[in-house]
Structures are given as structure tokens and as C-alpha cells.
Amino acid sequence: MALQNANPVIHERKATRRQRPSIGDESAVEEIDALEHLRDIRDPEHPYSLEQLNVLAEEGIEVDDKQSSVLTLPRLRVRKIPGKLFVCGSWIILAVNKQLNDKERVVAAMENPYLAQTVRDCLAPLEEYE
């Protein structure tokens, strides 16, 4: 299957932040935590992480506390993120978030062994930093 982005531009991975911003700026803390968790997720079609492919960058992350979801503002090109979701523009983000927030659908999807394994493979690099 031909890759949609066969010759990706590789960006540098920023060093992992260890410093936290001051207490009281809670949503800033959550944004950095979110980036820490998401930056190393590997795109299943490439050997590089989402950050290296510039799919994710710190400026683009917003934490929506009420809906318990992490939105990433779009600088996203058309590509697949774990499993079966296409991401292209902000309205797609909302549809994706509704799916991800529907725990019944997520649970049912994760009962699919192929999908569960794909997600585990994408999250595997995170274990190196634990």
C-alpha cells in the first residue's frame, strides 16, 4: 500500500520538559502533560513520531476540561492516526473527539485484536521514557 506521505519532512524532537509551570496555571500543566503523552506516539504508517512529523506541536494543543478531551488545533495534513481515523481540518477533530469520548464505541473497537495491537504498537515508544 503506497504511503500517502512517502517522503515526510522530519522535524526535530524537542527535549522532554521536566520543569512545570507555576501552580495555579492548571490548564498549562495539562497541556504540557498532554504533549508529553502524545508527542511520542508513532504514526502507524511511518517509523517517526507524531511530533517528528509535525502533526503535533505544543502551540497546537488545547485541553478541554469539561469534555475531558484533548483537542489538537489543526496544522494537520491528511493522514491516519491509530486505527481508522482520518484527520483533516478542525471539523474532523470534533467528529473524532465524539468517537473517542464514546467509551462504549472505544471499548467495542478495542475488542478487535488487530486494532488493539495497532494502538499498542503506536504507544510503545512511550514506555522507553517511563
Partner 1 sequence: MEAIQELEGHTDRVWSVAWNPVASSSNRSVLASCGGDKTVRIWEGDCSDSSSSSSSWNCKAVIDSFKRTVRSCHWSPDGKLLATACFDGIGAVWEDVGGDYECVATLEGHENEMKSIAWSASGTLLATCGRDKSVWIWEMEAENDFQTVSVLNGHSQDVKTVLFHPTEDILVSSSYDNSIKVWAPDPNGDDWSCVQTLAEPNQGHSSTVWSVAFDADGKRMVSCSDDLLLVVWDTSTNPLESSWLSFIILLPLIFKFCLFRKHLCTLSGYHERTIYSVHWSRRSGLIASAAGDDAIRVFAEANDPSYTSRAVFSMVGKQQKAHSTDVNCVRWHPKDDDILASAGDDGLVKLWRILS
**What's the start-to-end Cα distance of the chain, in Å?**
34
> Near partner 1 by CB under 8 A, which window of 20-28, 37-45, 72-80, 102-110?
102-110
SS3 (DSSP) at 37: helix
**By CB under 8 A, is residue 84 in contact with partner 1?**
no
Alpha helix stretches (DSSP H) within 39-75: none
- For CA atoms 2, 39, 52, 88, the dihedral sign is positive
**By CB under 8 A, is residue 101 in contact with partner 1?**
yes
Q: Output DSSP code: residue 88.
A: -
CB of 130 to partner 1, least distance (A): 23
SS3 (DSSP) at 63: strand
> Near partner 1 by CB under 8 A, which window of 16-24, 56-64, 95-103, 116-124?
95-103
**By CB under 8 A, is residue 113 in contact with partner 1?**
no
Applying CB under 8 A, the residues found at the interface with partner 1 are: 68, 98, 101-105, 107-108, 111
